[in-house]
């Protein structure tokens, strides 16, 4: 059955609102040095208030997507909530989500450290970072991007086109956050941002492959997002120097994986007649 083509202006409006709100939060001057803390794995975890401001900006698209979709089209809200509880999928998708980012970042680090001493943090650091990350950006971003926005794009465009459009927006949406957190100078700003954008567009295809392949399971995509963030944090902690080279190697590997998975999606949907949005929902 051919799915109904949806008007795109509500989606474009949502994406503009999400960008404006997140960028305002990220770029708002904030000099407080306060913090709160708790204990995890026997270690005290400190959260500076400045970090909470950045995390709030990450969460805003998902927090906005739920009431926005309810007002604009209630059916989308129901589908988004259904995808959020669709956790009963094949174990291979959870393994894919957890292992793939680790493999890519490990290979990138291994290639990089061919010329430098090797030093990798313990696995518990990755697990700690993963658990601390999941409730913030991964959860709320995926509600907005993969559960709400992507299915609407899939009603109007071919699958890979939708993934690339989503990835391009997702990358641009991150730019103020990167500028605030990476503290780039005038010489590294353009190269780092360019490579980071290409890398995130590639990962958008990988995320969409997992979402489409798992039958629109948002939990496994949230896990992939969290694993990506945790693995990226561990890569940075290994060596803070020569970051541009490591980012470039990671981006190259990610693009190769994205091209391979994108071709698999095209082979699985040769006419692109059935998209993620047209799959049946759970009762």
Torsional class of 7: left (φ above 0), alpha (ψ -120 to 50), beta (otherwise): beta
Report which of 149, 164, 165 is spatially closest to residue 76, judged by C-alpha positions: 149
For the ranges 35-39, 59-63, 247-251, the lowest mean pLDDT is seen at 35-39
> Percent of the chain having pLDDT more than 90?
49
List, in sequence order, every residue forming a beta bridge with 270; answer none if it has no partner: none
Res 121: pLDDT: 63
pLDDT, residue 118, reads 54
Distance CA 261, CA 269 (A): 12
For 5-43, write each residue's pLDDT tens digit.
Answer: 678 899 999 999 999 999 999 998 877 677 776 666 667
Per-residue pLDDT reduced to its tens digit, 175-196 = 999 998 887 777 788 988 999 9
pLDDT of residue 113 exceeding 60, the answer is: no
Give the lowest-confidence range in 20-29, 112-121, 144-153: 112-121
Q: Is residue 99 pLDDT above 80, yes or no? A: yes
Q: Find out whether 133 and 226 touch, Cβ atoms under 8 Å.
A: yes
Average pLDDT over residues 167-178: 95
The Cβ of residue 183 has, within 10 Å, a number of other Cβ atoms equal to 8
pLDDT at residue 88, as a whole number? 93
Per-position DSSP letters for the chain, written without gaps between them:
-PPPPPPSHHHHHHHHHHHHHHHHHHHS------EEEEEETTEEEEEEHHHHHHHHHHHHHHHHHHHHHHHH-HHHHHHHHHHHT-----HHHHHHHHHHHHHHHHHHHHHHTTSS------HHHHHHHHHHHTTTHHHHHHIIIIIIIHHHHHTTS-HHHHHHHHHHHHHHHHHHHHHHHH---TTTHHHHHHHHHHHHHHHHHHHHHHHHHTTS-HHHHHHHHHHHHHHHHHHHHH-SSSHHHHHHHHHHHHHHHHHHHHHHHHHHSTT--S-GGGSPPP-
Total length of the chain: 283
Rounded Cα distance between 282 and 262, Å, is 26
Percentage, residues of the chain above pLDDT 70:
81
**Tokens of residue 122, six digits:** 């313990």
How far apart are alpha carbons 2 and 15 in whole angstroms?
A: 26
In this structure, the number of other CB atoms found within 10 A of the CB of residue 241 comes to 8
pLDDT grade, residue 258 (50/70/90)? Answer: very high
- Residue 59 is encoded by which pair of tokens? 């969460």
> CB-based contacts of 126: which residues, under 8 Å, 6+ apart?
102, 230, 231, 234
pLDDT for the residue 188: 80
What are the beta bridge partners of residue 36?
A: 47
CA distance 163 to 157: 9
């Amino acid at each position: 059955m051919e799915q109904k083509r949806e008007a795109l202006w509500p989606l474009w409006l949502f994406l503009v609102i999400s960008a404006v709100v997140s960028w305002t939060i990220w770029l708002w001057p904030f000099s407080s040095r306060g913090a709160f803390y708790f204990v995890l794995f026997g270690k005290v975890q400190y959260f500076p208030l400045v970090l909470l401001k950045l995390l709030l900006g990450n969460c805003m698209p998902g927090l906005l997507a739920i009431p926005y979709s309810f007002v604009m089209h209630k059916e989308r809200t129901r589908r988004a909530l259904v995808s959020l509880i669709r956790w009963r999928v094949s174990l291979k998708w959870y393994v894919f989500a957890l292992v793939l980012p680790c493999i890519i970042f490990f290979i990138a680090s291994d290639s990089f450290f061919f010329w430098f001493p090797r030093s990798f943090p313990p696995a518990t650091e990755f697990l700690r970072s993963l658990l601390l990350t999941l409730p913030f950006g991964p959860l709320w971003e995926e509600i907005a991007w993969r559960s709400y926005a992507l299915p609407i794009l899939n009603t109007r465009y071919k699958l890979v086109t939708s993934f690339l459009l989503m990835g391009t927006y997702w990358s641009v949406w991150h730019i103020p956050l990167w500028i605030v957190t990476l503290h780039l100078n005038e010489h590294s700003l353009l190269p780092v941002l360019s490579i980071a954008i290409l890398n995130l567009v590639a990962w958008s295809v990988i995320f969409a492959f997992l979402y489409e392949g798992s039958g629109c399971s948002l939990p496994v995509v949230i896990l992939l997002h969290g694993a990506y963030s945790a693995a990226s944090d561990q890569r940075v902690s290994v060596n803070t120097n020569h970051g541009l080279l490591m980012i470039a190697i990671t981006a190259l590997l990610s693009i190769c994986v994205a091209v391979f998975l994108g071709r698999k999606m095209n082979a699985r949907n040769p006419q692109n007649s059935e998209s993620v949005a047209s799959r049946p929902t759970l009762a």
